[in-house]
């Protein structure tokens, strides 16, 4: 059965669905939920917030990525609600794309009881291996209303050296 799955998951070069190559197929949160379900069922009635539901809540905060092969370039859209352009960093090197976003806020409220400080931080980092090399110097992107859009032009495929026979002396 595992051999059949491996054959189905292997994509040929003619396959146009490159999303599978850029974004991992398996979901870590789903695996964790499956492992935690028996524990969740046992302690769920006792505790209102068990480990499985906490993990599900945190996993829901991962950015949603949409990746498409457009022939001569790739497009990627990432939903980053709450982040601004200054919070987001995009790095590209050959066929590796790294997205980082980091936002922190400190808030002080004063009341009769005294000063109260609240601090929060949102952070994520995703590294994607693209199916083909891209022209890093021509990658462009925009960030508007919490949505990051990238255009990643592909590098022209390198010409393959023809094989030749080597005469031995």
| pTM (2 d.p.) | 0.56
Q: Which domain holds residue 52?
A: 21-60
Strand intervals (E) in the chain: 64-69, 73-79, 88-93, 96-111, 114-129, 140-144, 147-153
Please check whether residue 12 lies inside any domain of the structure.
no
Question: pLDDT by residue (tens digit) across 37-47?
Answer: 777 666 665 55
Are residues 132 and 86 both part of a single domain?
Answer: yes
Are residues 96 and 131 both part of a single domain?
Answer: yes
Are residues 54 and 100 both part of a single domain?
Answer: no
50 vs 112: which has the higher pLDDT: 112
- The residue out of 33, 60, 87 marking a domain boundary is 60
CATH number for the domain harbouring residue 144: 2.60.40.790
Please check whether residue 150 lies inside any domain of the structure.
yes
Are residues 121 and 150 both part of a single domain?
Answer: yes
Are residues 47 and 122 both part of a single domain?
Answer: no
pLDDT confidence bin for 57, thresholds 50/70/90: very low
Q: What is the pLDDT of residue 165?
A: 83
52: number of Cβ within 10 Å = 21
Are residues 107 and 131 both part of a single domain?
Answer: yes
User: Is the pLDDT reported for residue 52 higher than 70?
Assistant: no
Are residues 81 and 52 both part of a single domain?
Answer: no
Please check whether residue 169 lies inside any domain of the structure.
no
Instruction: Using CA atoms of 29, 34, 36, 41 in order, give the dihedral in degrees to the nearest 10.
Output: 130
Question: pLDDT by residue (tens digit) across 76-126?
Answer: 999 998 899 999 999 999 889 999 999 888 888 888 888 888 888 888 899
Are residues 38 and 79 both part of a single domain?
Answer: no
- The residue out of 60, 85, 111 marking a domain boundary is 60
């Amino acid at each position: 059965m595992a051999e059949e799955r491996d054959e189905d998951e292997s994509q040929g070069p003619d396959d146009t669905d490159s999303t599978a190559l850029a974004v991992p197929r398996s979901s870590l949160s789903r695996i964790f939920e499956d492992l935690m379900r028996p524990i969740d069922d046992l302690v769920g009635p006792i505790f209102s917030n068990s480990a499985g539901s906490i993990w599900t809540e945190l996993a829901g905060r991962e950015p949603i990525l949409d990746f498409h092969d457009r022939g001569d370039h790739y497009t990627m859209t990432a939903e980053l609600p709450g982040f601004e352009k200054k919070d987001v960093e995009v790095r590209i090197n050959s066929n590796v794309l790294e997205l980082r976003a980091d936002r922190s806020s400190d808030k002080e409220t004063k009341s009769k009881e005294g000063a109260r400080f609240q601090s929060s931080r949102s952070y994520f980092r995703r590294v994607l291996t693209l199916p083909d090399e891209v022209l890093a110097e021509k990658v462009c992107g925009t960030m508007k209303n919490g949505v990051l859009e990238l255009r990643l032009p592909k590098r022209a495929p390198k010409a393959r050296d023809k094989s030749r026979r080597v005469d031995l002396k």
